[in-house]
Amino acid sequence: MPIDLRPLATVVPDAVVERLRGARRVLAIGHESPDADALGAALAIGMLAEALGARATVAAADAVPDLYRFLDSSDSVRTDPEPDVAYDLVVLCDCGDLSRVGAIRDRNAALFAATPLLTIDHHASNDASGDLAWIDPGAAATCEMVALLATRLGVPLTAGEGRLAAALTAGIVMDTATFAHPNATPRTLQVAAALVEAGAPLSEISRRLYRTKPDAQLALFGRVLGRLQSHADGLVIASTMELADLVATGARSEHSEGIIDLLAQSETAEIALLLKEKGDATRLSVRTVPGGVDATALCGTWGGGGHPRAAGASLALPLAEAVAVVIPEAIRFARAVAR
């Protein structure tokens, strides 16, 4: 018997369904430095809009990383809206807050000011920006939410000759680490099963995202792991990625994807930290273990956010200064955990 997601899809707000059904020119945007969840959700929103008879553009502030180029239609993702289109709806996908939209918002300030914004996101720290927001922290991925939205809209998951199911599955696989993270719920698995039933190549997507890496990326991992430091008797582990690492290995910034998850495999650490040099600023990634530190609370110290077990923040400090600020605060959080 085919998997029926309709009972689960009742969580989709009626207002979201009506807003998409009423739009004729849709701009779907994933967050800057897009990952599989942001891209998959934005591509899926574009496909849903077109299935409803609308014109759709998919965009992100930064170009699609090579890691995600296996997704069909990824080459259609723009870094700016089409200049001659009068959009009547902007859908922000997987953007924890408006700042995560990135430079595309700054470059198109008039469009963002004049066009209704619909936010679809699963980050608990989302401030529900926009004219209409659907935030579901219980979803493992924004793509899980969009799959349910497709069901509410009556668009089959087989749409686009399998492209819709593949895009949505990629986001779920990425944000659950192939269903290994505790955010994978029974609903997540049901949605994923329906997507596989619709033709999504789960094994191939998992291989592409988690078991295929360029040699330059492996070399980058080696340099960063070689810099690993342990603090507070192993309660906090941390490493740094310098711009010089990219030069030395020939890797790109996007190749840092996955390092923090390796650090999080520590058997002693309550908190794993990766601090990445971004010119005069630093990007912080945090992972914590169940029953311990809320990663959003730690990252909120510097205006960041995300999920209880995985969060991030940007610090307007050079790398060395950021390390000196972040490590003591992380140690304070880790020592407060009672087990």
Report the domain count for the chain. Answer: 2
Residue 3, domain member (yes or no): no
Backbone angles phi, psi at 278, to 5 degrees: -130, 70
Please tell me whether residues 305 and 221 are part of one structural domain: yes
Both 70 and 186 in one domain: the answer is yes
User: Domain boundary at 210, 234, 269, which?
Assistant: 210
Strands laid side by side in the 132-135 sheet:
55-59, 25-30, 89-93, 117-121, 132-135
Q: What is the mean pLDDT of residues 4-27?
A: 98
Cα–Cα distance, 250 to 296 (Å, whole number): 32
Does the CA dihedral 125-172-181-102 come out positive or negative? negative
Asked if residues 39 and 74 have their Cβ atoms less than 8 Å apart, the reply is yes
Residue-level pLDDT at 73: 87
- 56 occurs within a structural domain: yes
Q: Provide the domain limits for residue 185.
A: 8-210
> pLDDT band at 239, cuts 50/70/90?
very high
339 pLDDT higher than 90: no
228 & 154 share domain: no
Average pLDDT on 222-232 reads: 97
The arithmetic mean of pLDDT across residues 268-281, rounded, is: 96
Tens digit of each residue's pLDDT (9 = 90 or more) over 121-163? 999 888 887 889 999 999 999 999 999 999 999 999 999 999 9
Compute how many other C-beta atoms are within 10 angstroms of the C-beta atom of residue 18.
11
According to the model, what pLDDT value does residue 182 have? 87
61-91 confidence digits (pLDDT tens): 999 999 999 998 899 999 999 998 999 999 9
Distances from the Cα of 99 to the Cαs of 59, 95, 224, 245, 310, in angstroms? 15, 8, 28, 27, 18
Q: Which amino acid appears at position 209 of this protein?
A: L
Average pLDDT, the chain: 96
Q: Summarize pLDDT for 296-334 with one digit per residue, the tens.
A: 999 999 999 988 999 999 999 999 999 999 999 999 999
pLDDT of 97 higher than 90: no
Q: Are residues 194 and 61 in the same domain?
A: yes
Position 240 scores a pLDDT of: 98
Strands 271-278 and 281-288: antiparallel
Residue 48 near residue 149, CB atoms below 8 Å: yes
Summarised one tens digit per residue, pLDDT across range 23-71 is 999 999 999 999 999 999 999 999 999 999 999 999 999 999 999 999 9
Contact at 8 Å (CB) between 57 and 28?
Answer: yes
262, part of any domain: yes
Q: Does 165 fall in a domain?
A: yes
Q: How confident is the model at residue 181 (pLDDT cuts 50, 70, 90)?
A: confident
Question: CA gyration radius for the chain?
Answer: 20
Structural domain contains residue 61: yes
Is residue 188 domain-shared with residue 227, that is, in the same domain? Answer: no
The domain spanning residue 203 has which CATH number? 3.90.1640.10
- Would you tell me the crossing angle of helices 163-176 and 202-210 to the nearest 10 degrees? 50
Residue 39, burial from CB neighbour count under 10 angstroms (0-12, 13-18, 19+): buried
Q: What is the DSSP letter of 63?
A: P
In a domain, 225, yes or no: yes
End residue of a domain, out of 165, 193, 210: 210
Q: Calculate mean pLDDT across residues 249-274.
A: 95
pLDDT given at position 297: 96
Average pLDDT over residues 82-102: 93
Cβ neighbors of 179 (< 8 A, separation 6 or more) are 173, 188, 189, 192
**Percent of the chain at pLDDT exceeding 90:** 91
If asked whether residues 173 and 257 sit together in one domain, one would say: no
Domain boundary (210, 230, 245) is at 210
Identify the CATH number of the domain in which residue 296 sits. 3.10.310.30
Q: How far is CA 331 from the centre of its chain?
A: 27
Q: What is the pTM of this model?
A: 0.88
| Distance (Å, whole) CA 42 – CA 170 | 12
Q: Do 263 and 205 sit in the same domain of this protein?
A: no
Whole-number percent of the chain with pLDDT over 70: 100
Q: Exposed, middle or buried: residue 132 (CB in 10 Å: 0-12, 13-18, 19+)?
A: middle
| 23 & 143 share domain | yes
Q: Is residue 42 located within the same domain as residue 177?
A: yes
DSSP type of residue 248: H
